[in-house]
A = this chain, B = another copy of it.
Amino acid sequence: MRYYQYLQNGTKHVGVEDDAGQVTDLTALNSQIGSTLDLFKAASITGSDIDSVARGILAANKGAATTSAAELLDGAKPGCHWVTLLPPVDAPEVWAFGVTYMDSMRERQAESGSPDVYAKVYDADRPESFFKATLDRLQSPFDDVGIRADSGWDVPEPELAFVTYGGKIVGYTCGNDMSSRTIEGENPLYLPQAKVYDKSASLGPALVSKESIGDAQKLSVTLTIDRDGKEAFRGEANTADMKRDCEYLVGWLTRHNSIPDGTSVMTGTGTIPPPEFTLQAGDVVNITIDKIGTLTNTVVVV
């Protein structure tokens, strides 16, 4: 099942989407449910999973009002705005992995003055992980994402993101890992500055539970960038091409490193715009992943 978090009349709600594409407001049915973390916590305490918990609530509330997911997402678009979508999980930390796809390795080499380090990490057992964002730095679906004013070459990185609870993967969403190629290219030691800055990350629109995603390593990931109403770039990848799968990555992330519940993790990009492309203010970035949906953000200079 798919889970959404959104503001309506100043209050945060959790909605769950069933197989028919209808969203039920769980917060309206039980005011105890104020966030998807509440569902994960209840599932953890009762030894269950959030789909079972959600199904139990729906079964006990047959005939509850629903909205179609399409309507909810439309209502959250800028200009409409009867709801405000939020990241589907209140991730206290967002981490990311790099160089998990061959394409990413090649692009990193192309931009870098130190190309060897990328080849080495691609082939090594130990993957490259880095701290990407705190909850405060996380942008909501349809919110702005930023490019640094001191960077001239900038791209979104469309990535499958997994959500953890108790150090285990419990769900998936779309991640936008905004990156400055100028800064990372200058020196691998500048990675944090290329990756962590105002409005540099976004997650959403939905969280799909681990129970509902099927095979997380067979999802197509599509990136489109619209400029002046026209598609300026389209690229595609598939999580089947990840060199290391999500379970492998979370194992490394939590090695000697405790992460708080809800920590979400971007898993690397398999498609990057070509060298001659750089983002501009006003560009609209759409990241679509099978079974999850489309995460849309508009670019601003920060």
Copies of this chain present: 4
Interface residues contributed by chain A, number (CB under 8 Å): 63
Known contacts A189-B128, A197-B256; decide if A46 and B38 are in contact (CB<8 Å): no
A97 CB, min distance to chain B CBs, angstroms: 10
- Asked if B193 and A129 make an inter-chain contact with CB atoms under 8 angstroms apart, the answer reads yes
Give the residue of B38, B45, B149, B256 whose beta carbon is less than 8 angstroms from that of A150. Answer: B256
Interface membership of A148, Cβ < 8 A: yes
- How far, in whole Å, are A198 and B183 apart by their CA atoms in the complex? 29
- How far, in whole Å, are A39 and B120 apart by their CA atoms in the complex? 48
Q: Give the interface centre of A44, A116, A190 by most chain B CB atoms within 10 Å.
A: A190
Chain B hits for A47, CB < 8 A: 56-57, 60
- Asked if B198 and A128 make an inter-chain contact with CB atoms under 8 angstroms apart, the answer reads no
Chain B hits for A73, CB < 8 A: none
- Asked if A197 and B257 make an inter-chain contact with CB atoms under 8 angstroms apart, the answer reads yes
Chain B hits for A149, CB < 8 A: 256
- Asked if A257 and B196 make an inter-chain contact with CB atoms under 8 angstroms apart, the answer reads yes
- Asked if A117 and B189 make an inter-chain contact with CB atoms under 8 angstroms apart, the answer reads yes
Which residues of chain A (92-114) have a CB below 8 Å from chain B? Answer: 93, 98-99, 113-114
